[in-house]
Chains A and B, each alone.
Chain A
């Protein structure tokens, strides 16, 4: 009927010489394309981190030097009151900022989800701050907070001459001025993500809840929000990253003041490295920032991987 195995072994097909150089080039093209980005990313992520880690363990001051001093820089960092304020500010800010931005973002998303007219216009209004830099936002809000020219003056000129609004110039409340501004800037982003989540919920689910007699509020609380629970986590992680890296907003709004009341780790790193010539300690502070990020991101990424696995097992 056809050739036997022995025949086949004796008669090789006419065309299968080794691949030509062109073909070989095509074959390694994917790796060639990837290589530069990969090298850059590798240097950026690993070499830079290890480098900074090393500097943080060295006696560098105005210039990098490589005398090993162990954890001295960390010890001196943590004994510094300003750093402690910075670190506790970070936690205070992160907590309020994330909860605030998510709460307002969710509220706005649900409001817009009620089949309102001019949806695109509302969305644009709430989202435009995202396009603007923290520098611009911080600068403008610093004017509004300014007791001489801003909101306080406006209200006083309207007749309430005893009105006091000096949020940003009081060392006890300045941090809240930063929190409010941060929320103003980012709640639109949270809204956009939540809205997309709400729209991705199977409409049949909502119809089923309505037929079951659930009120709008109940439908959201018991049916829709649990379905989009993963989005809460994603939004929180994105926001927390903003929070930890926040430098621009504070730099433009309060510059860490009044006094040192609104110092943040990011501000402090900059000060140590470039204003005070304490590179070693600055590097230690930067490493502490990375640690804070890792505390959030490592469990999150494990969670994502776990969920991914579980889903692929079921599907």
Chain B
């Protein structure tokens, strides 16, 4: 049973097409994250689900009801805005009950609902205050309270954490996840932060230029990105892209070769990959965590580790780990190191590359091979 179905959805503003045939479907209770850079159309998509933007073409169903031309108030949805959109002249209590009041819900029932939500979010002491007297985190809670109180079919979140400072953002992220577990409502969550999308979502729709680039579970999106855009967008530091040619390795198996510092590197591909004829141009994608300091013990434990020598150009310690920038011919490649065995700037080290996690992309279509 799916609680949200979006089919061939298009949206144009004048001659500009901002959504070009979106297909997404969310199962009941699922947490869908729409993620992408600004301008990718994710907020427009959310606004269309909410009914705040008209549909140019295609259809949106909530449950099995076609809602294309249904007014926002009749869609049985609730939304949390980036700016929270708390009514500044109303108290927290009034903010939470405004929707029920507009729908003519009797007062005792409203009081009951406020009590329930306030307890759930632990905002009882704030009920009499105005939004102006609340901290960022408190406003965030009230905004969620306003959404929760109505028990809707669908929750919509529009970058709800982007106005919070870094620490609070992580706390609230956890809290949203807990809340979703407890309430179990279908949720669509828009964010430009790939970490938020990864941590919260049961499935992620990565959007770019008005299209869904990939719609899959977080780990799948991370491990097997459908194309170079997704590969580059998800993960920080970003995946390394190394232009290479298919060739045959010394052991007779398929391999890739590319120009490295001081010669050509040939790395064997993992068994079972048959990317095509030798000589074909490909792009080798390797995440920074799969580039590290080489040691024979690691190689012994994992056969898929290849080695390559490279000079270290820059080191950036972050505390938990150290990011190193190494030169591969004309390219700069990022790797992650344990602080204890981080290289020094200027040093040339032997890197290990875990080829079992490597991806190959077609340089013209930019899609995963």
By a beta-carbon cutoff of 8 Å, the part of chain A in contact with chain B is 1-3, 5, 8, 11-16, 19, 23
Contacts and interface: CB of A to CB of B under 8 A. Distances in A.
Interface residues of B, number: 16
Contact of B64 (A5, A13, A19): A13
| Chain A contact surface mostly | loop
Interface of B: 2, 5, 7-8, 25, 59, 61, 64-71, 74
A13 B71 contact: no
Contact of A16 (B2, B5, B25, B67): B67
Given A1-B25, A8-B59, A23-B71, A13 B65 contact: yes
Nearest to B1: A2
B4 to A, nearest CB: 10
B70 A3 contact: no
Given A1-B25, A2-B2, A2-B25, A13 B69 contact: no
A278 B2 CA distance: 80
Contacts of A2: 2, 5, 25
A15 B65 contact: yes
A137 B268 CA distance: 94
B25 A13 contact: no
| Closest 6 pairs (CB-CB, A-B) | A13-B66, A13-B65, A2-B2, A2-B25, A16-B66, A15-B65
30 contacts: A1-B2, A1-B25, A2-B2, A2-B5, A3-B2, A3-B5, A5-B8, A8-B5, A8-B7, A8-B59, A8-B61, A11-B64, A12-B66, A13-B61, A13-B64, A13-B66, A13-B67, A14-B64, A14-B65, A15-B65, A15-B70, A15-B74, A16-B65, A16-B66, A16-B67, A16-B68, A16-B69, A16-B70, A19-B69, A23-B71
Contact of B7 (A5, A11, A23): A5
Nearest to B74: A15
B14 to A, nearest CB: 16
A290 B65 CA distance: 59
Contacts of A1: 2, 25
B200 to A, nearest CB: 22
B25 to A, nearest CB: 5
A14 to B, nearest CB: 6
